[in-house]
Amino acid sequence: MVNCSAYFSSPPKVCINCIEEYIAIKQMEYDLKHLNNVTSLDGTPCSTVIYSNYLVSYNEEITSAVTRQIWDASQCDACINIEWGFNEQNTNYSFVNATFIFQKKLFDWRHCVANYSANNVPLLSETNYSAVCQNCLKTFDLLFDYYWDSYMNPDLDFCLDVETTMNDSMNLWHKVWHCSEDKVKDREHDWTLVLFSFAMLASITFFFYVGSYVQSERSQRNLIKYSRMELPRGVRSRLLSSSNFSDTGVNPSTSDVVL
């Protein structure tokens, strides 16, 4: 398992290529932990001797490291389902449906690339760029769209093998072959719409603040104008209070109001 992992470490594709080795080491771990019918000279079961009688159990450390740092770190369970059968030594595995569909779309794209590559000419030759880009665009879009939709789905996940394969495929398609996308025009249209919307929003905001500023300046000028007006002059109306009438004994009437 360690040798297989080292061989497929760059790019990391351990889950798909080292599944047999992983099952074998887990089966060996199970068998060693259940050697109860085999004992040492003092009658101690071999499983106890191997895993319990030493400060450091190298078998335990190796299998734990393989499981945690290789298999689990690569998220292999997201791509492969394993039905363990330790007792019968009959463990079966299968690809997760999402991984199976991805692999099929990947093979369709690779098959297209192989078909439109000239015979006896290296796949990365510049003479093949245009033919591959033109004829294999549809299969590449199907591959990428499925990967992206699955990636955005919170209920789905991919192992490191699939992520690495997709990244390598995109790098080959865009950076090595310089193939364009059929969706570039749509993206340019989307960007145009976004920029137009931003310009409209900025214009509306600008005119709103300009109008608010003009309105505030006009209100301020009116306040200054009113503050500079002279106080009203002349005789002002005044009502006599009822206390004055009570002191003089005179009943108030409308004729008693001084204008």
- The confidence score (pLDDT) of residue 233 equals 57
Radius of gyration, CA atoms only, the chain: 42
Compute the distance between CA of residue 123 and CA of residue 114 in angstroms, rounded to an integer: 8
* Buried/exposed 8-22: b ≥16 CB within 10 Å, e otherwise: beeebbbbbebbebb
27 and 90 share one domain:
yes
In three-state secondary structure terms, 95 is strand
Residue 45 pairs with which residues in a beta bridge? Answer: 39
C-alpha distances in Å from residue 248, one per residue of 230, 238, 255: 38, 18, 16
44 and 103 share one domain:
no
How confident is the model over 121-130, as a mean pLDDT? 57
Domain end call among 149, 176, 203: 176
- The confidence score (pLDDT) of residue 197 equals 73
Residue 9 pairs with which residues in a beta bridge? Answer: 12
Q: Tokens 């002059």 label which residue?
A: 233
What are the tokens at 171? 């790098």
240 lies in some domain: no
* 73: phi then psi, degrees, rounded to nearest 5: -65, -30
Contact in structure between 227 and 209 (CB atoms under 8 Å)? no
Res 53 pLDDT > 90: no
- The confidence score (pLDDT) of residue 257 equals 42
Which residue from 232, 234, 252 is spatially nearest to 242, judged by alpha carbons?
252
Res 188 pLDDT > 70: no
Compute the distance between CA of residue 166 and CA of residue 238 in angstroms, rounded to an integer: 94
137 lies in some domain: yes
87 and 146 share one domain:
no
Residue 92 pairs with which residues in a beta bridge? Answer: 83
In three-state secondary structure terms, 20 is helix
7 and 79 share one domain:
yes
Top mean pLDDT of 172-176, 217-221, 224-228 is at 172-176
Res 62 pLDDT > 60: yes
Top mean pLDDT of 74-83, 109-118, 210-219 is at 74-83
- The confidence score (pLDDT) of residue 245 equals 47
Res 259 pLDDT > 50: no
86 and 119 share one domain:
no
45 and 128 share one domain:
no
Report pLDDT digits (tens) over 68-98: 999 999 999 999 999 999 999 999 999 999 9
Residues 6+ apart with CB under 8 A from 250: 256
What are the tokens at 59? 């078998």
- The confidence score (pLDDT) of residue 142 equals 96
104 and 119 share one domain:
yes
61 lies in some domain: yes
90 and 104 share one domain:
no
Domain end call among 42, 73, 95: 95
13 lies in some domain: yes
The pTM assigned to this predicted structure is 0.61
Compute the distance between CA of residue 93 and CA of residue 104 in angstroms, rounded to an integer: 18
77 and 37 share one domain:
yes
Confidence of residue 240 (pLDDT cuts 50, 70, 90): very low
Confidence of residue 47 (pLDDT cuts 50, 70, 90): confident
Which amino acid, one-letter code, is at 93? Y
241 lies in some domain: no
More confident site: 33 or 164: 164
Domain end call among 95, 113, 141: 95
111 lies in some domain: yes
245 lies in some domain: no
161 and 104 share one domain:
yes
Res 244 pLDDT > 60: no
Compute the distance between CA of residue 98 and CA of residue 28 in angstroms, rounded to an integer: 30
Up-side HSE of residue 18: CA atoms within 13 Å toward CB?
A: 24
Q: Which domain range does residue 160 map to?
A: 98-176
Q: Which of 65-79, 104-118, 238-252 has the lowest mean pLDDT?
A: 238-252
- The confidence score (pLDDT) of residue 22 equals 95
12 and 79 share one domain:
yes
More confident site: 7 or 186: 7
Res 35 pLDDT > 70: yes
Res 128 pLDDT > 90: no
Compute the distance between CA of residue 57 and CA of residue 196 in angstroms, rounded to an integer: 67
Based on the structure, what is the number of domains in the chain?
A: 2
34 lies in some domain: yes
115 and 154 share one domain:
yes
C-alpha distances in Å from residue 115, one per residue of 109, 165, 213: 10, 20, 68
